[in-house]
Structure 1
Amino acid sequence: MSALFWFRRDFRLYSNEALIDALNDGAKHAVFFVCEQQWQQHQMSAIARDLLLRRVSYVGQRLARYGVTLHVLHAPMFADVPSKLKQLVDELALKRVYANKEYEVNEVARDKACSLLGLDLQLYDGDVIAPPGSVTTKSGDMFKVFTPFKRQWLKIHELTQFGLPSWPLNDSEEAVTWHADACLEGDGSSNKWPVDDEALHNIVSRFVHDKLAGYQDDRDFPAIKGTSGLSPYLAIGALSVKQLLINVQIHHPNVLQNAKSNLFCWVNELIWREFYRHLIVAYPSLCKHQNFNAKYDTLKWQDDEEAFMAWCEGRTGYPLVDAAMRQLTQTGWMHNRLRMVVASFLTKHLLIDWRKGESFFMQHLIDGDLASNNGGWQWAASTGCDAQPYFRIFNPITQSERFDPEGEFIRKYLPELEKVPTKYIHFPHQYLAATASNCYWPAIVDHKAARERALARFKVDDE
């Protein structure tokens, strides 16, 4: 017994090469640190915390069956982890610590501090298929546009048939218990999301078998369950990108060689996820919420707390925006198309700093993830890497008409509009005025006027 496995955001068993190598190195112990103050500082939502802790409990019980003890220890901040990890390693007389890399600034600093204490860290790139720094331009630089990044990613991996290492353990004859010094009780808010491996296997299989072929056509319609719904499990590492790609390749072996096919559309989203991870390694300032495109550092955002709260609470008077925000606050999740719509509305219609929206999302999302959340918000705000141009401003009314044509999604989250005819559901104010109804909020801004204001404001900083 010479090794310890350190869980981070990688709570999976069979698709975890670092864990399996640790077990093959004789590991009988694993550790996870509950860093409540750090999580609060990073604005981890209550529902994401609940999902993570439920998964920790599940994995602890599974490991115990294999004779591996999971130690769940309390460390308020990441800075408290190195000394506690060193103490555990010394107490157990271990030599090596296996773990998967985390790429954010605070996490990298934590790992450096561990190494300075003399801990032998064996770190793996388990959260991505292509390790950061492996997909670069000919000059060795990070791509600043997604499409050439994707082409190079595919050039490296398109002929690869991915596989997973064999699980090395059998059920143990010697029962062990897992050890928790830190509280693992959540608030139960994530209970609609199962955390056991059998359920996750079924969710992945159903998506690959039943939804993948229609993903490109269905993914933009929030009233249809056309997306995978797997992002919360990727965020806590209950599933890996490689594991998901393997599931696709089993049924579609040539998917990476057919980048223009409908089947590739979802894989393309996984590569976007990798793109944003590579970016935060190449540009650590992104972890500090700085604009990727520095020319927008002088952009004058509106300091309008009343408008921001109306956006947060779903009171903008634009039904698709309001329904999306209520979906977020009620369920902890938001459809991807709607994330773009509400982010565009906040940053372009209201001219409110994207960082306020990014923060609000992290505080409420079950799948909150710094790299993807930051990348998505800066894309919508036109301040990011390969972002939409500043003059592309989503019209929330036409987006509603196109992607929720019958108003099904709107009526689900805005029951006050249930009786509004479909003809008027996307912007009901004229109809409500004619019927003397005051059941819904007035529009907080006029679309045309807000668009012109945004164009003028962004154009000054773009010149």
Structure 2
Amino acid sequence: MSAALVWLRRDLRDDDHAALYHALKRHTQVYVAFVFDTDILDHLADKQDRRVEFIWESVRELKQYLQAHGADLIVLHGRAKVEIPALAQTLQVTAVFANKDYEPVAIARDEEVANTLLATNRTLHLFKDQVLFEQDEVMTQAGKPYGVFTPYKNAHLAKLNAFYLKAYPVKKYWNHLAQTNPEPMPTLESLGFQRTNLVDLRLPTGMSGAQQLFKDFLHRIDQYNDARNYPAIKGVSYLSVHLRFGTISIRQLGAAAWQLSLAGSEGAATWLSELIWRDFYFQVLFHRPDLQQGKSYKPEYESLPFPNDKQWFAAWCKGRTGFPIVDAAMRQLNQTGYMHNRLRMVVASFLVKDLLIDWRWGERYFAEKLIDFDFAANNGGWQWAASTGCDAQPYFRIFNPQSQSEKFDPQGKFIRKYLPELADLGEQQIHAPWDPHFHKKGLFDKSSAVDYPMPVVDHAVQRELALRLYKNNVKQR
């Protein structure tokens, strides 16, 4: 009887799971484990981190499901690169199965685990699971990675077919799960973390939560092409955190989007394009691991001399810049751990090209706050906004926060939700409360009860300064 161990990481589900499928198919006794990795958790300063609670809840659900089928999920707390080889030794398995992680730090961890296992004649098997196409599967005709999205997308779509979207039939080999006695899992508090407002946010966790959100989105997917741009309406899938932690399969989502797009749904085609962007950024990171060290994708933008005013950065972080759409978006992030994708572009452009603050500052802040934080996508998005990345907007494209607000939150519904102090303003006034017309009404008088700041900068002035900064300081290659 051969035994194996499946090591879960960012794939917290029991079905359509590459590593679990291959382990169950090849071995007759398969254990499943998850490690709350202190090499990661110890670096999280906020002990009320929504991501940790989301993971904990998702692990708990998966553990309960496995227990209901006579198996169990072994949940450990420690250094994963130590705990996994030790567990493999204890269980006397011949191999460890896991799904690939494409971040440089994770790749280095997996190499270390593989070497430790090899020293005891055990092997680590890694599989593609979190993307549709990985690493070198979609390359240029010259055999090089794409640096521009549209040709990458075209090549991706040309290759995509039912084979790459087929689900792994894990349940076919379900009887190969090791039958063990249930063991308790660490409490959130024993991990050193506390409850957050996750329950109040009504964000469903785990596999069941992911399927609930996906089912709901399928009823709205045809409208996604347009609805996704408006933060005040229910237009997006809200599945990003579930994709991040693998509580739902990318193949299930990709198959639905692909089939509906072939049937003529523009919304599904646009959503599929967004899933391909995700693959694109993973591919970029794999081929450019130096991005995780804060390098610009384009070396000519590596050392732009941003003034980096700390008071302006603090105002941006707190949602106190005086630009309502920016402040509402930042307060949404701070209060919920989520920010609408359109607003991620707006606030990033504002930080870099209005406040003239290095994009890396914003990237780090998002990394601390986003519940769906994924380094590849976060870095790609920030470098896109800062014009330093692959296929980025040109440096002279600078979002006007007021016009973005008027276009994508025309009635100010989103602003009113997160800036209640401006709730009584009219539909025109709420986008520009600093307009002199409103000064006469006492909005910014010292005696006013409205606690909202004047703009920290003049957009028109800052735009010219940003253009000058980029034009005069780009290193010629």
What's the TM-score once normalised by structure 2's chain length? 0.90
Q: Of 448, 453, 467, which aligns to 1:441?
A: 453
1:194 partner amino acid: P
* Residue in structure 2 matched with residue 201 of structure 1 by the alignment: 211
Q: Of 239, 245, 256, which aligns to 1:247?
A: 256
Once the 2 structures are TM-superposed, how far is the Cα of residue 165 of structure 1 from its aligned partner?
Answer: 2.5
* Residue in structure 2 matched with residue 450 of structure 1 by the alignment: 462
Cα distance in 1 for residues equivalent to 2:175 and 2:257: 28
Once the 2 structures are TM-superposed, how far is the Cα of residue 13 of structure 1 from its aligned partner?
Answer: 1.1
Structure 1 unmatched runs, 5+: none
SS at match of 1:202: helix
Does residue 299 of structure 1 match 2:299?
no
* Residue in structure 2 matched with residue 287 of structure 1 by the alignment: 292
Structure 2 unmatched runs, 5+: 445-449
Once the 2 structures are TM-superposed, how far is the Cα of residue 60 of structure 1 from its aligned partner?
Answer: 1.2
Query: Is the CA contact 1:11–1:237 (under 8 Å) kept in the aligned structure 2?
Result: yes
Give the alignment of 1:48-447 within 5 angstroms.
48-75=51-78, 80-117=79-116, 118=118, 119-158=122-161, 160=163, 162-166=165-169, 167=171, 168-169=173-174, 176-180=181-185, 183=190, 186-191=194-199, 192-208=202-218, 210-249=219-258, 252=260, 254=262, 261-429=266-434, 430-438=436-444, 439=450, 440-447=452-459
Once the 2 structures are TM-superposed, how far is the Cα of residue 221 of structure 1 from its aligned partner?
Answer: 0.5
Once the 2 structures are TM-superposed, how far is the Cα of residue 262 of structure 1 from its aligned partner?
Answer: 3.7
* Residue in structure 2 matched with residue 19 of structure 1 by the alignment: 20
Query: Is the CA contact 1:379–1:386 (under 8 Å) kept in the aligned structure 2?
Result: yes
Once the 2 structures are TM-superposed, how far is the Cα of residue 65 of structure 1 from its aligned partner?
Answer: 2.0
Residues 376-417 of structure 1 deviation map (CA, whole Å, 9 limit, x = unaligned)? 001001111111100000000000000011111111111111
* Residue in structure 1 matched with residue 447 of structure 2 by the alignment: none
Cα distance in 2 for residues equivalent to 1:366 and 1:173: 33
Residues 44-97 of structure 1 deviation map (CA, whole Å, 9 limit, x = unaligned)? 88111110111011111111222333222222xxxx433322221111110011
2:245 partner amino acid: I
Once structures 1 and 2 are overlaid, which stretch shifts more, 189-198 or 101-110? 189-198
Once the 2 structures are TM-superposed, how far is the Cα of residue 137 of structure 1 from its aligned partner?
Answer: 0.8
Q: Classify 1:220/1:40 alpha carbon distance in 2 versus 1 (closer, same or farther; 3 Å).
A: farther
Once the 2 structures are TM-superposed, how far is the Cα of residue 238 of structure 1 from its aligned partner?
Answer: 0.7
Number of residues paired by the alignment? Answer: 454
SS at match of 1:422: coil
Once structures 1 and 2 are overlaid, which stretch shifts more, 190-199 or 402-411? 190-199
What's the TM-score once normalised by structure 1's chain length? 0.93
Cα distance in 2 for residues equivalent to 1:405 and 1:188: 32
Query: Is the CA contact 2:257–2:271 (under 8 Å) kept in the aligned structure 1?
Result: no
Once the 2 structures are TM-superposed, how far is the Cα of residue 39 of structure 1 from its aligned partner?
Answer: 3.5
Query: Is the CA contact 1:51–1:193 (under 8 Å) kept in the aligned structure 2?
Result: no
Query: Is the CA contact 2:29–2:176 (under 8 Å) kept in the aligned structure 1?
Result: no
SS at match of 1:425: helix
Cα distance in 1 for residues equivalent to 2:52 and 2:224: 29
Once the 2 structures are TM-superposed, how far is the Cα of residue 419 of structure 1 from its aligned partner?
Answer: 1.0
Query: Is the CA contact 1:43–1:362 (under 8 Å) kept in the aligned structure 2?
Result: no
Once the 2 structures are TM-superposed, how far is the Cα of residue 159 of structure 1 from its aligned partner?
Answer: 6.0
Residues 233-288 of structure 1 deviation map (CA, whole Å, 9 limit, x = unaligned)? 011111121121223356x2726xx7x93430011000000000001100000111
Q: Classify 1:87/1:172 alpha carbon distance in 2 versus 1 (closer, same or farther; 3 Å).
A: closer
Query: Is the CA contact 1:53–1:186 (under 8 Å) kept in the aligned structure 2?
Result: no
Cα distance in 2 for residues equivalent to 1:90 and 1:56: 23
